[in-house]
Chains A and B, each alone.
Chain A
């Protein structure tokens, strides 16, 4: 039997930098024509439709654009209930939606600084652990 591995939830959005999956970087593309950045993969630039795109590593921090507390998730969610869903704006522009962890509800504030947190969010059919990009309050 092959050994269980830690794998990124969507390889075009997250690259893991160690086997434990505790370090990683968010991935995206940058349009060489208009300069816009996109999280994950796009085939053509969503802004100017240029096909002249290059891969980039995006920041591992951003600010909280909006948030909600999900009380009843749809099927397929394996984490805690309720959970905080944050919409985080990266310095490059793209918004990244994911759970905000280790944050008391009363500490949530639009505009607050957040940083990337990598946590196991589930398993695939082969038993590999799927690492999901999440957010936590940035250390001051």
Chain B
């Protein structure tokens, strides 16, 4: 790690706009509600925020961060729009963290929002030759990984489907989730095929929603907010892109294992995978959760599917994963998802998660990935 944090950073407050479909609202309304909730949760006045980073992906107008925050009052602060695919929100959080950790700012806002259009998600523009080749299809990409994973490790398709059963069980306990309906294993397996072996309920929905977090230097909290005992420490903030991998099981097209990011995050926090009490990982499809738990070293390589089948990843298990429903059932408004994960970990570490509360967690890890081989990892602790 080239740059070292100069001081400790905490999350003062978090906020969400519910995930789902909101045809009557535009993107800035979703974002603004999340920001207002986060400021309220932090007991921070908008006019004290020194910088804001906004994560979003789809083009729905220019300078949308500015358009969102304009409604709260024109304070003249720098506002930065961030696009890093599905990691846009967590990249905004990462920037806010480092802005404070390096001493440039004391109080920062990170927020994200999205209105994802309906239909299959592609990475390239519509006139790209990849469309004609038929190779650009986000869920097909996950399906290729799933098929190869099943071959490599003898994983049954039921084990992948079980990830979705668990996700929907968790989301049913979450009033902010897009889906509050539970499914049986058979219902997941028999839902409409999208890209074999993935069925509809094994792929995240297209979603709308917003999320926000207020970050502050620990040594400056007293200047901005009351000490209410609800602050959560950011123990690590890592962002990495892909390096060249050899063929076979490490091929990046199969396995976007980004060990660089987890190595950085564990080194920075002086914590290891064995210390993590609660995990949010990028489960855009069921296979994503399984592989990322392995990539993070939380379960051994090739055994992620076993952890799911034996219930270890449930709220009651020893590695509770995607406790709010994850991308699969909470929903996946790209720019909002990264900070949504932070929101859930902060809520759990505070002991405020209600019916989906994990028993006394001390350390939480949020992992987000994005097209372009982006990986962001944040570790938070009490």
Contacts and interface: CB of A to CB of B under 8 A. Distances in A.
Interface of A: 9-10, 36, 46-47, 65-79, 83, 85, 87, 89, 93, 95, 97-99, 110, 121-122, 130, 132-133
**Is the contact region of chain A dominated by helix, strand, or loop, or is it mixed?**
strand
B131 A77 contact: yes
Contacts of A97: 133, 135, 144, 253
B253 A87 contact: yes
Interface of B: 119-122, 126-129, 131-137, 140, 143-148, 151, 192-198, 244, 247, 251, 253-254
A121 to B, nearest CB: 5
A40 B140 CA distance: 21
Contact of A76 (B131, B192, B193, B197): B131
Contact of B132 (A68, A72, A77, A89): A77
B134 A89 contact: no
Nearest to B135: A97
A51 B132 CA distance: 30
7 contacts: A9-B132, A9-B133, A68-B196, A70-B140, A74-B119, A75-B131, A121-B133
Q: Which of B121, B127, B140, B151 has the most CB of A within 10 A?
A: B140
A39 to B, nearest CB: 11
A76 B128 contact: yes
Given A74-B122, A95-B251, A110-B151, A122 B134 contact: no
B116 to A, nearest CB: 13
Given A46-B244, A70-B195, A132 B140 contact: no
Which of A71, A93, A110, A130 has the largest count of B CB atoms less than 10 A from its CB?
A71
Contacts of B132: 9, 76-78, 121-122, 130, 132
A81 B109 CA distance: 45
Contact of B254 (A65, A67, A68, A83): A65
B254 A75 contact: no
B134 A79 contact: yes
A43 B82 CA distance: 27
A68 B131 contact: no
